[in-house]
């Protein structure tokens, strides 16, 4: 053994496994590829496009997929395919699934906190905790919202008259720029009531939305119930608003007044429900407004004594 070999081996022996630390310091990190989330899978945009996502300080973070109209159509198809099974599940089961999402989100708290910090979010850890709590809160409403919004109606005649809520169908959601708590707050009430959705993530800060999609994919949520698109809101939102197989539209994240009006006009073609709440304090008690926004009321008449 030569004298020149001994020092390097001695250094290697100082580290677990006998590895030379100089090798580790030269290792290149495996960068995460942020894709779309459609039908339970993570495809790249069919257009092959992407766009640069930067931190609040202007530093490069990643390239995110830039969804196209074809991606939006694929997402609507996936959401429609999943609607029958998801809306037919028991409310209690939907609540269980949402609670499982909360569990998985909390298990990745550090990762979400790091991603939120890059967007300039203050007290990122507390924001993640609030998102977990919001999911648990909505999960608890799963088997209670029908009792609160349904009714037995007095009628003049020998009939039972009962009104009960049912999910609207496929909901297109433009998520707010609050990239986790706001995102969770628009998705959870839509799906816990039996709807499926296509979500356009925050264009400015899309990375937490794809990480959330990874949580959804491992949380017993059936494929297609939630589909996440990243890219240009101005490009995708009008097409979803005009899509004839979309039943409702949530314009929470649309800040451009002209774009919001254009989407509302396009949604009128097939009488979509349109929810446009204005400025929202995501830390406040959400109430039941979003739970009832995408429910239809079915009223049944039945003769008494039969």
Asked whether the beta carbons of 234 and 256 are under 8 A apart, the reply is yes
Residues 6+ apart with CB under 8 A from 266: 238, 241, 242
Q: Count CB-CB contacts under 10 A for residue 13.
A: 10
The answer to whether the predicted template modeling score (pTM) of the entire model surpasses 0.85 is yes
Asked whether the beta carbons of 98 and 139 are under 8 A apart, the reply is yes
Helix (H) or strand (E) segment spanning residue 199: strand 196-200
Please write the tens of the pLDDT for every residue from 256-306.
Answer: 999 999 999 999 999 999 999 988 999 999 999 999 999 999 999 888 875
Asked whether the beta carbons of 200 and 174 are under 8 A apart, the reply is yes
Asked whether the beta carbons of 276 and 264 are under 8 A apart, the reply is yes
Which pLDDT value is given to residue 15?
43
Asked whether the beta carbons of 270 and 293 are under 8 A apart, the reply is no
Mean pLDDT of the chain: 91
Asked whether the predicted pLDDT for residue 11 surpasses 70, the reply is no
Diameter over CA atoms, the chain: 105
Q: Round to whole Å and give the CA distance between 105 and 112.
A: 8
Asked whether the predicted pLDDT for residue 92 surpasses 60, the reply is yes
End-to-end CA distance of the chain: 99
Which pLDDT value is given to residue 301?
87
Q: Round to whole Å and give the CA distance between 164 and 116.
A: 40
Confidence of residue 156 (pLDDT cuts 50, 70, 90): confident
Confidence of residue 41 (pLDDT cuts 50, 70, 90): very high
The DSSP bridge pattern shows strands 50-54 and 60-65 to be: antiparallel
Please write the tens of the pLDDT for every residue from 49-79.
Answer: 999 999 999 999 999 999 999 999 999 999 9
3-class SS at 56?
A: coil
């Amino acid at each position: 053994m030569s004298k020149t070999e001994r020092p390097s081996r001695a250094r290697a022996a100082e580290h677990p496994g006998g590895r030379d630390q100089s090798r580790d310091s030269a290792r290149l990190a495996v960068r995460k590829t942020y894709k779309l989330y459609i039908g339970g899978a993570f495809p790249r945009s069919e257009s092959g496009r992407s766009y640069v996502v930067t931190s609040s300080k202007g530093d490069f973070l990643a390239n995110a997929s830039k969804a196209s109209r074809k991606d939006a159509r694929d997402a609507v198809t996936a959401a429609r395919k999943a609607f029958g099974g998801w809306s037919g599940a028991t409310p209690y089961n939907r609540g269980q699934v949402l609670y499982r999402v909360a569990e998985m989100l909390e298990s990745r708290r550090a990762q979400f906190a790091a991603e939120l910090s890059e967007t300039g979010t203050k007290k990122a850890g507390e924001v993640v905790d609030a998102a977990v709590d919001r999911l648990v809160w909505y999960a608890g409403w799963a088997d209670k919202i029908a009792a609160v919004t349904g009714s037995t109606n007095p009628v003049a005649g020998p009939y039972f008259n009962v009104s009960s809520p049912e999910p609207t169908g496929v909901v297109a959601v433009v998520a707010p720029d609050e990239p986790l708590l706001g995102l969770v707050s628009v998705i959870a009430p839509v799906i816990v009531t039996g709807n499926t959705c296509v979500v356009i993530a925050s264009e400015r800060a899309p990375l937490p939305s794809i990480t959330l999609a990874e949580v959804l994919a491992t949380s017993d949520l059936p494929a297609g119930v939630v589909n996440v698109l990243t890219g240009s809101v101005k490009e995708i939102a009008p097409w979803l608003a005009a899509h004839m197989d979309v039943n409702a539209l949530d314009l929470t994240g649309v800040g451009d007044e002209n774009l919001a009006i254009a989407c509302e006009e396009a949604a009128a073609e097939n009488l979509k429900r349109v929810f446009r709440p204005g400025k929202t304090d995501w830390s406040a008690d959400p109430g039941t407004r979003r739970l009832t926004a995408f429910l239809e009321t079915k009223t049944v008449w039945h003769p008494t004594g039969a």
